[in-house]
Amino acid sequence: MVMDRVNKNTARAQLGTVTLNPRDRRPLYQQLAEGIGVQIRNGVLPLGARLPALRELARRHEVALVTASQAYEALASEGLVVSRTGRGTFATYDG
């Protein structure tokens, strides 16, 4: 018997809008990471919530795929998310 380790009950969280300002001196990935981080810390994205896939995040915020990837990497370095290859990116902060 093969067990599927993907949790089918993990709901994809609704990521709120993150406003990016091209005139801001900070890189876009930092602005994106900060906006998502605030939502995780405030409980908008609860512990274990699945975040949008990189391509979806990039498309939704009209940024390059590498920018979305850098944002998730920044969040991971802060301990706010964990990425699992083939499964997705999940919020790990439990305020």
- Main-chain dihedrals φ then ψ at residue 16, nearest 5 degrees: -70, 170
CA 68 to CA 70: how far, in whole Å?
Answer: 5
Q: Which of 54, 48, 60 is nearest to 16 (CA)?
A: 60
**Looking at the chain, how many residues does it have?**
95
Q: What is the pLDDT of residue 6?
A: 47
- For the whole model, what pTM was predicted? 0.86
In this predicted structure, the answer to whether residue 88 has a pLDDT above a threshold of 50 is yes
Mean pLDDT of the chain: 90
Q: What is the pLDDT of residue 2?
A: 42
Q: 42-54: per-residue pLDDT in tens? A: 999 999 999 999 9
Q: Which of 95, 91, 93 is nearest to 14 (CA)?
A: 91
**Could you tell me what percent of the chain has a pLDDT over 90?**
80
Q: 16-61: per-residue pLDDT in tens? A: 989 999 999 999 999 999 999 999 999 999 999 999 999 999 999 9
Angle between helices 28-41 and 65-77 (to 10 degrees): 50
- The single-letter code of the amino acid at 20 is L
In contact, 91 and 13? CB cutoff 8 Å: yes
In contact, 40 and 9? CB cutoff 8 Å: no
